[in-house]
Amino acid sequence: MPYLGGEETVRELRRALSNPHIQTDHLRYRNTIHRVIRLMSQGVDVSGLFSEMVKACATGDIVQKKLVYVFLCSYASVNPELSLLVINTLRKDCSDPNPMVRSLALRNMCNLRLPGLCEYVEQPLTAGLKDKAACVRRVAVLGWAKIHALLPNTEIDAAVVNELYGLLRDPDPVVMVNCLRALEEILEEEGGVAINKPIAHHLLNRLKECDVWGQSEVLSVLQRYRPRSEDELFDILSLLDPALLSHHVPIMAATLRLFLSLCSMLPAVCVSALERARGPLLAAAGSSSRELRYAALCHIQLLLRSEPGLMGEHYKRFYCGYAEPPYIKQSKIQVLVELVNDDNVAVVLDELKGYCTDVNTETSQAAINAIGSIGRSYDDRCLGILTGLLELKQEHITSAVLQTLRDLVWVSPQYGDAVCSALEKWEDQLQDTQGRGALLWLLGVYGDRLSGAPYILEDFIDGVRSEVSAEVKTELLTATLRVFLSRPAETQDMMGRLLQHCIEEELDMCVRDQALLYYRLLHCGIEDVRRVLQCGRRSDLSLGPLIGRPPEPISQWASIFNTLEPLMLGASSNGFQFGNGPELEKALNMLSFPCTRVWFLKTLCLFVVIFQAYVMCPVPRCSPESLQVALQLVNIQTLAFTAPNKLPWKMYLYTHSSHTLTPHSSTTPPNTLILAEVLQFTML
């Protein structure tokens, strides 16, 4: 960081630090050191004062010592040779009668982070493990973990490891927990601390003595323990049971996780543990800290994937407060959708309706999406709310509503009439790409019923030159062709213009290719066009597994419970929460119409993109088996796929180009095998 006069100040400080008058005057000496540390905190490079500061650590004043150590630890890596000078002082401090000084010296000796100094540190650390003051033992135990982190390739002496195992029985609970932490780090390659029966029971018995942090640590280490018999398992469970109701959220969450891992074979016990922990979980979701509230909400979303009924009657606890930040509101909305049942649907919809006009665009879109997905299983009240929102004439709301309507009628075609009547008097202009895509899709599908459809399309076609989004253009092509099928007279002319533009002037290859495809398709005859564009796999039951979400087994997520991951999922799933059926349908339809190999690969790319949005981003929502069945319907065969929880997740696909369906490409050899690899990129 540039700091005016930095060098001058450093020089002045060096003079002051080496001035014997100041050195003898405690107060002035200490104030000079304060100035150095303050500059360091402000980002000024004061590493040049290292040798002067080394001298300053030989003092009886403990606060001064601490400050000098802070300085030395920050700059040791820049001055490895000079750091050697400190070691002597530190080692002398390690045998100081005052335990505070001993622990301070020991801690900072390891914090210098210089691999070259490790040999000097080992001896005081070994002595520290046997120190009579607990605070020194605490530091010494973690010191070994620090040494291991510095020299990951050298083995820590087996005697030390044994000593650490012995210290698990230390009277001081923090020493015990630090031992666990250190052993976990040192023995990471062997899979962490070996937890046998005596150790497990010892830890369980001393659990109550630890503080919140310690208890969480012990509980998470205990996950690796496998009780020998069912009796022992149930003894442990009943011992831990009260902790499920603990009002320290971290302890409750750690206990719940331990329960889930101990009882992975006993789903009934898991479910009852979840029910026991419901109260504390709800309390956590109402916690006064918004971050903890968010963490709790993300975990509740995880639980609801397996036990959708768990929080049903407590839906009111997930109502949004006005001042809550958008990320909390959005998670709450997602939870509310899961909690809808016959009794509360009306109330929840009312509440969600209020969120649709939220100032934050994302939140209002999330609320609109939520209403749409409730609409899949509940009456047309949802539709009333959605069409009502169109009248607000707010751009982002309209766009979100159109997308939601598209997804909704795709799953529940019975809403078609209502959607048509809402679109009948459409005359707005939309800027948003996604919204326009959705509008075009709706126009294409309901072109026969919407009297104004060709006119709206004409507007789009007239403006196609200034259209930037390829997505809208491809959507426009499909929509125009669909409308052409039902109303040829009105559409033929503009379709011609559109195709001409897209084939001759368009620069985007995807749009051009699609236009060419449609052009050739039209040559094949109207029946073929109809088959490709209107056979519509709309609300095909076999696609159910891709849209719906059957309850998952608890084991699917138990391993990530109470870690960072649910929060990352919560953050990433916002965009993909509710699937985009029509896009998938389009991709599948394209695939079912085999043309050239190039076209297939291109479509497959599109498909892969959608597939990613679908299957992986939030977390795989459907099992590979059901995906396989869905893909077989469109002549894509699965060669192999990796196990569901493996990352990166891969799937190998192939297809035959069957000549019966390809009249104009009969020259290509039959049975072309095309292989594709779908790769799931890891989120974390």
Partner 1 sequence: MSVSAVFVLDLKGKVLICRNYKGDVDMAEIDHFLPLLMTEEEEGVTCPIMMHGNVHFLWIKHTNLYLVATTNKNSNASLVYAFLYKLVEVFTEYFTELEEESIQDNFVVVYELLDELMDFGFPQTTDSKILQEYITQEGAKLEVAKTKVPTTVTNAVSWRSEGIKYKKNEVFIDVIESINLLVNANGSVMSSDIVGTVKLKTMLSGMPELRLGLNDRALFALTGRDKGKTVSMEDVKFHQCVRLSRFESDRTISFIPPDGESELMSYRINTHVKPLIWIESVIEKFSHSRVEIMVKAKGQFKKQSVANNVEVRVPVPSDADSPKFKTSTGHAKYVPEKNLAVWTIKSFPGGKEFLMRASFGLPSVENDEMEGKPPITVNFEIPYFTVSGIQVRYMKIIEKSGYQALPWVRYITQSGDYQLRSNF
CB of 44 to partner 1, least distance (A): 12
Q: Of the candidates 161, 180, 159, 158, which has an alpha carbon nearest to the alpha carbon of residue 170? A: 180
Q: Are 310 and 274 in contact (CB under 8 A)?
A: yes
CB of 115 to partner 1, least distance (A): 11
Q: Are 437 and 471 in contact (CB under 8 A)?
A: yes
- Token digits of residue 584: 């998938």
Which lies closer to partner 1 via its Cβ, residue 108 or residue 655?
Answer: 108
Which lies closer to partner 1 via its Cβ, residue 566 or residue 582?
Answer: 566
Which lies closer to partner 1 via its Cβ, residue 301 or residue 655?
Answer: 301
Residue 88 has phi, psi (to 5 degrees) of -60, -50
Which lies closer to partner 1 via its Cβ, residue 331 or residue 657?
Answer: 331
Helix (H) or strand (E) holding 443: helix 433-445
Which lies closer to partner 1 via its Cβ, residue 570 or residue 581?
Answer: 570
CB of 143 to partner 1, least distance (A): 8
Which lies closer to partner 1 via its Cβ, residue 172 or residue 380?
Answer: 172
Type of residue numbered 503:
I
Helix (H) or strand (E) holding 484: helix 470-486
CB of 648 to partner 1, least distance (A): 15
Q: Going along 622-673, which residue ranges are E strands? A: 637-641, 650-655
- Token digits of residue 5: 């006069």
Which lies closer to partner 1 via its Cβ, residue 555 or residue 596?
Answer: 555
CB of 385 to partner 1, least distance (A): 16
Q: Are 130 and 94 in contact (CB under 8 A)?
A: no
Q: Count how many Cα atoms sit within 13 Å of the Cα of residue 570 in the half-sphere of its side chain.
A: 29
Helix (H) or strand (E) holding 608: helix 597-611
- Token digits of residue 67: 């400050």
CB of 92 to partner 1, least distance (A): 16
CB of 27 to partner 1, least distance (A): 6
Which lies closer to partner 1 via its Cβ, residue 173 or residue 375?
Answer: 173
> What is the separation of C-alpha 79 from the centre of its chain, rounded to a whole number of angstroms?
41
Helices (H), 25-117: 26-41, 50-56, 62-75, 80-93, 99-111
Helix (H) or strand (E) holding 545: helix 544-547
Give the C-alpha separation, 322 to 388, whole Å: 23
CB of 351 to partner 1, least distance (A): 8
Per-position DSSP letters for 222-289, written without gaps between them: HTT---SSHHHHHHHHHHHHHHHT-SSHHHHHHHHHHHHHHTTT-HHHHHHHHHHTHHHHHHHHT-SS
CB of 569 to partner 1, least distance (A): 11
Which lies closer to partner 1 via its Cβ, residue 29 or residue 614?
Answer: 29
CB of 181 to partner 1, least distance (A): 5
- Beta bridge partners, 677, equal 652
Which lies closer to partner 1 via its Cβ, residue 64 or residue 672?
Answer: 64
Type of residue numbered 330:
Q
Which lies closer to partner 1 via its Cβ, residue 62 or residue 639?
Answer: 62
CB of 250 to partner 1, least distance (A): 5
CB of 480 to partner 1, least distance (A): 33
Q: Are 479 and 457 in contact (CB under 8 A)?
A: yes
Task: Count CB-CB contacts under 10 A for residue 206.
Answer: 19
The SS3 assignment for 341 reads coil
- Token digits of residue 50: 């290292």
Q: Of the candidates 363, 307, 296, 302, which has an alpha carbon nearest to the alpha carbon of residue 333? A: 363
CB of 273 to partner 1, least distance (A): 17
Which lies closer to partner 1 via its Cβ, residue 327 or residue 600?
Answer: 327
Which lies closer to partner 1 via its Cβ, residue 182 or residue 310?
Answer: 182
Which lies closer to partner 1 via its Cβ, residue 177 or residue 676?
Answer: 177
CB of 290 to partner 1, least distance (A): 7
Instruction: Tell me whether residue 42 is exposed, middle or buried, using C-beta atoms within 10 angstroms of its C-beta: 0 to 12, 13 to 18, 19 or more.
Output: exposed
Per-position DSSP letters for 478-532, written without gaps between them: HHHHHHHHH-HHHHHHHHHHHHHIIIII---HHHHHHHHHHHHHHHH-HHHHHHH
Helix (H) or strand (E) holding 400: helix 395-411
The SS3 assignment for 189 reads helix
CB of 610 to partner 1, least distance (A): 22
Which lies closer to partner 1 via its Cβ, residue 76 or residue 529?
Answer: 76
Q: How far apart are the first and last CA of the chain?
A: 32
Residues 6+ apart with CB under 8 A from 359: none
Give the C-alpha separation, 282 to 279, whole Å: 5
Type of residue numbered 564:
L
